[in-house]
Amino acid sequence: MANGTPYRQAKLGDTWDAIVIGSGIGGLTAAILLGEYGGKRALVLERHYEAGGFTHTFRRPGYEWDVGLHYVGQMEEGTETRRAFDHLTGGRVSWQPMPEVYDRILIAGRTVEFRAGEERLREELKGHFPSESKAIDRYIALVHACNRMSGLYYAEKAVPGAIAKIAGGLMRAGYMRWARRTTLEVLESITANRELIGVLTAQWGDYGLPPSKSSFAVHATIAEHYFGGASYPVGGAGMIAEAMISRIEKMGGAVVTSADVKSVIVQGGKATGVRMMDGREFRAEMVVSDAGAGNTFRRLLPADMPELSGLRAGLRGLRPSTGHVALYIGLSASDEELGLKGTNLWVYPSFDHDGNVERFARNMDEPFPGVYISFPSAKDPSFKERHKGKSTIDALAMAPYAPFAKWSESRWKHRGDEYEAVKQQLAARLRAEVERQVPSAVAHIEVAELSTPVTTRHFANYESGEIYGISATPERFLMRELGARTPVKGLYLTGQDVASLGIVGALYGGAISASVALKKNLVSAVGRPPKAG
């Protein structure tokens, strides 16, 4: 599987039309659209040894897991999201629908199944909460109402700057009425039933914030995204990066791994290239950063740039999203033998998600705030062809960065005995939860390897090991300066911090970035078939 060319082996010219820092889906999307609609040869520089960001695949002998993509909604034929993925991958990635019950919610002894199809979900919720029928109808209506207002909000990020200055406030206003309110505030306005609120927000791990902290805008985005069910890429998430990299290379670009960028070169207030950790410089007429807003403005640009002072101050007021611990489990039996079907499990100690998070943040000996158990091999019909008689499980729990910060400067795989002891304890707890929920797996666990927020920090270069970029609080949406445009001419942002979080949010961040850089509406174009050649 192609995943870029190692930096030390790549034969690279010094001058390119565009340089993209980071190969997450936002960076790869921007590189493709710059080439397709602007004729730009893009050099994509990835510090990890494998390209793809959170779409890359993690392997051990006989096994493979996806590290960030666990399911994607709205992937039915003809949907906007499906058209966008088909455009960017040249239609080379097939998608397998997940079971009708794509998420099973397990909270304090209650089991609620999220079924594909809005009416099925409505019926399921009303079956569990018959006295809350009006509140459930109102909730679904509010999710749709919020999302109907999102188009102009995101369009304002892509239109020419002059138009944004004149009309931007009006374009943002409708969505901001929802975005400035927390998820809990909106749900408390329609119901006092704490158990119903706990169930309606049970997918909070998909955006990393419990109800009292998250903007209702992000909750509505994610909730509606899965109303129709979910799908999984056949062959795993790495197929997405492979197909996108192929398109970049065919347009004269290159994707290079183990390529650590030290800084963006700025001359006369304009970005003119990048300087690598080894001192080499690459030049281009534009630089696109998929490294995150914090990394870009605090670490990759000179400290003495007064034009960045306001933006940097604004970013200091925003928190990074959550970190997580993930246990990658390999099983010496097939999904069929173990009865694994592919339905995700969300397991919570109580309906009070905020209280669960706060207790674990104070003391990691408390129950996990929630455990997400995913079955990647069962979702992918091609897995059994590559790994006969095997299967895999992912078990994730959101976790704060602070308890791991002491190891932030230590080397990967050389973090010391204390760190290894913490990892073993957390791994044992996650494994125990998997064994409780999936007893057929107990006798077949062959591999169980844990990652922590400092693992994410090492590979993704996020300062606090966050997985969703900037936290999706109301304050994030209120910060108008957060987008593809930057105060530095020729420098653009892409990825999760530009639009919304997650794989799809990062993809559209790439489309917005390319739109701004080329002064063309590529957000609409990405939903059409790719241009010939």
φ/ψ of residue 272, rounded to 5: -120, 0
φ/ψ of residue 13, rounded to 5: -75, 165
Q: Which of the four pLDDT bands, split at 50, 70 and 90, describes residue 532? A: low
Q: What was the pLDDT predicted at 533?
A: 52
C-alpha span between 320 and 400 (Å, rounded): 10
Please name the helix (run of DSSP H) or strand (run of DSSP E) that holds residue 239, with its range, or none: helix 238-250
Q: How is 44-59 classified by DSSP, letter by letter? A: EE-SSSSSSGGG-EEE
The mean pLDDT value for 291-300 works out to 93
C-alpha span between 326 and 373 (Å, rounded): 10
Give 77: exposed, middle or buried? Use CB within 10 Å, 0-12, 13-18, 19+: exposed
- Residue limits of CATH 3.50.50.60 in the chain: 5-74+76-93+235-318+470-525
Task: Output the six-digit token pair for 77.
Answer: 């034929």
Q: How is 258-301 classified by DSSP, letter by letter? A: S--EEEEEEETTEEEEEEETTS-EEEEEEEEE-S-HHHIIIIIS
The answer to whether residues 495 and 482 touch, using CB atoms and an 8 Å cutoff, is no
The answer to whether residues 331 and 431 touch, using CB atoms and an 8 Å cutoff, is no
Residue 2 has pLDDT above 80, yes or no: no
Q: What was the pLDDT predicted at 290?
A: 96
pLDDT tens readout for residues 124-156: 999 999 999 999 999 999 999 999 999 999 999
C-alpha span between 230 and 209 (Å, rounded): 21
C-alpha span between 472 and 204 (Å, rounded): 11
SS3 content of the chain, % helix, strand, coil (to 5): 45, 20, 35
Instruction: Return the CATH number of the domain spanning residue range 5-74+76-93+235-318+470-525.
Output: 3.50.50.60
pLDDT tens readout for residues 91-124: 999 999 999 999 999 999 999 999 999 999 999 9
Residue of 385, 454, 82, 46 whose CA lies nearest to 231: 82
Q: Over pLDDT 70: what percentage of the chain?
A: 99
C-alpha span between 465 and 463 (Å, rounded): 6
Residue 407 has pLDDT above 60, yes or no: yes
Task: Output the six-digit token pair for 50.
Answer: 């494998």
Give 24: exposed, middle or buried? Use CB within 10 Å, 0-12, 13-18, 19+: buried
The mean pLDDT value for 317-329 works out to 93
Q: What was the pLDDT predicted at 1?
A: 46
Q: How is 162-226 classified by DSSP, letter by letter? A: HHHHHHHHHHHHHHHHHHTSBHHHHHHTT---HHHHHHHTTTGGGTT--TTTSBHHHHHHHHHHT
Beta bridge partners of 286: 18
What pairing do the DSSP bridges indicate for beta strands 15-21 and 42-45?
parallel
pLDDT tens readout for residues 160-178: 888 988 999 999 999 999 9
C-alpha span between 380 and 72 (Å, rounded): 13
The answer to whether residues 137 and 121 touch, using CB atoms and an 8 Å cutoff, is no
The mean pLDDT value for 267-295 works out to 96
- The 3-state secondary structure of 451-514 reads ECHHHHHHHHCCCCCCCCCECCCHHHHHCCCCCCECCCECEEECCCCCCCCHHHHHHHHHHHHH
3-state secondary structure at position 40: coil
The answer to whether residues 394 and 373 touch, using CB atoms and an 8 Å cutoff, is yes
Identity of the residue numbered 148: R
Residue 456 has pLDDT above 90, yes or no: no
What pairing do the DSSP bridges indicate for beta strands 230-233 and 72-73?
antiparallel
Please name the helix (run of DSSP H) or strand (run of DSSP E) that holds residue 371, with its range, or none: strand 371-374
Identity of the residue numbered 244: M
3-state secondary structure at position 336: helix
Q: How far is CA 72 from CA 48, 224, 497, in A?
A: 24, 12, 19
